[in-house]
Chain A
């Protein structure tokens, strides 16, 4: 019984649910502020995403006449729920253990594709031609970044698995445990290419500027979320902020989970700091300094560089083990 209560609390309050939403929105606010400063603007206050949310909830939700109503209404919920579950799997060292089952990395991999699927369903259910274009682009984008992601995950799993005597571990808690005992994978030269590949994967998955092709504001007017307004749009925004936490948290778990001592709060702050640095490197700077690429360019890019980098790591790991 207490297990279930604890699980529900984990899911809804901390570290999932409210806390994760707050965390993600805050990160997005800081991202917008830093991006503004990089462009020599003053920028919005860092609590701007919260304000946007309050406003969106107060607005009317318009459902187009030609849309498939149920799919249109359920799609944002699907993405949001998937990400809520995914946050639960991310361990914060020294604060939260993670879910602790043996295959949670694989579950996370599946959950990570839910936002893209939600966008696809929403886009195609909205019956807008822009939504349909967004749908196909989202699909191509997903196919291109999923391969390097998979390779990176397998590399880490193999690395830890081989070192601890098995074949491959798909358990996040074992991966964290291994790094706590043997030093973070960030400082292992064989893992550097994999880390780079993951860094490149982040902007693609988050859909920020060089790879925001499915939601390109200036050509297909935000594609899949074009027809969403009010509460539906708010749910998509929440989904994005949770996804931010999941993706950054996954990177930190895989490569640098080292805690900052015993203190609970200090560890939480340390986790926040790591997320922040990672976000600035892989999202903010990238998105302020580049322009959007074409779909085929992005596809080729993802199949060339991150895949090759991840493969190098994989081969090095296999040679070592």
Chain B
């Protein structure tokens, strides 16, 4: 029974975006490229939700600047379990072009458990969708 419910539930991952100080390149890629009709992410059952309380898969962009760190951590705590984190772009991995800057507290996985990394600056929409599919696989095991 639990297996069956797991199988059903994994088809409805709702996405939530957190901008941890990104240059907006990744956000544009997320919001207007990977999710416009052309690549239609709704066919996987995904839906963008405005509220962290509704989210299942968290997409984080940006290098975690010192300014937003507290807020991002708080936001992350508000997301109900089970959740999966996907880091979009090279910024969350290493800081990317902002590396070694005094304003950066990243890499993000020092503070938040990152499950999937999607490298690229910014990554291609196909790569993002692939990352989300990976995340769904991980999410299924946690449900």
A interface list, Cβ under 8 A from B? 32, 36, 39-45, 48, 50-52, 54-55, 58-62, 217-218, 221-222, 225-230, 233
Contacts and interface: CB of A to CB of B under 8 A. Distances in A.
B43 A229 contact: no
A58 B50 contact: no
Most chain-A Cβ atoms within 10 A of its Cβ — which of B43, B54, B56? B54
A62 B40 contact: no
13 contacts: A39-B37, A41-B40, A43-B42, A45-B45, A51-B8, A51-B12, A55-B10, A59-B80, A60-B80, A62-B78, A221-B51, A228-B53, A229-B53
A42 B43 contact: yes
Contact of A54 (B9, B40, B42, B81): B9
B: contact size bracket: 20 to 34
B9 A58 contact: yes
Given A54-B9, A55-B8, 4 more contacts: A36-B40, A41-B43, A51-B45, A226-B51
Given A36-B40, A48-B45, A222-B50, A229 B80 contact: yes
A44 B43 contact: yes
A58 B9 CA distance: 8
A265 to B, nearest CB: 28
A50 B11 CA distance: 10
A51 B8 CA distance: 6
B143 interface: yes
Nearest to B81: A60
Contacts of B80: 59-62, 229-230
Contacts of A48: 11-12, 45
Contact of B50 (A32, A221, A230, A233): A221
A223 B18 CA distance: 19
Contact of A229 (B8, B54, B143): B54
Contacts of A50: 8
B4 to A, nearest CB: 9
A51 B43 contact: no
Contacts of B143: 55, 58
A222 B51 CA distance: 7
B49 interface: yes
B89 to A, nearest CB: 23
A51 B11 contact: yes
A62 B53 contact: yes
B40 A218 contact: no
Interface in B44-70: 45, 48-51, 53-54, 56
Contacts of A59: 56, 80-82
A58 B5 CA distance: 9
Given A36-B40, A61-B80, A44 B45 contact: yes
Given A44-B45, A60-B80, A54 B50 contact: no
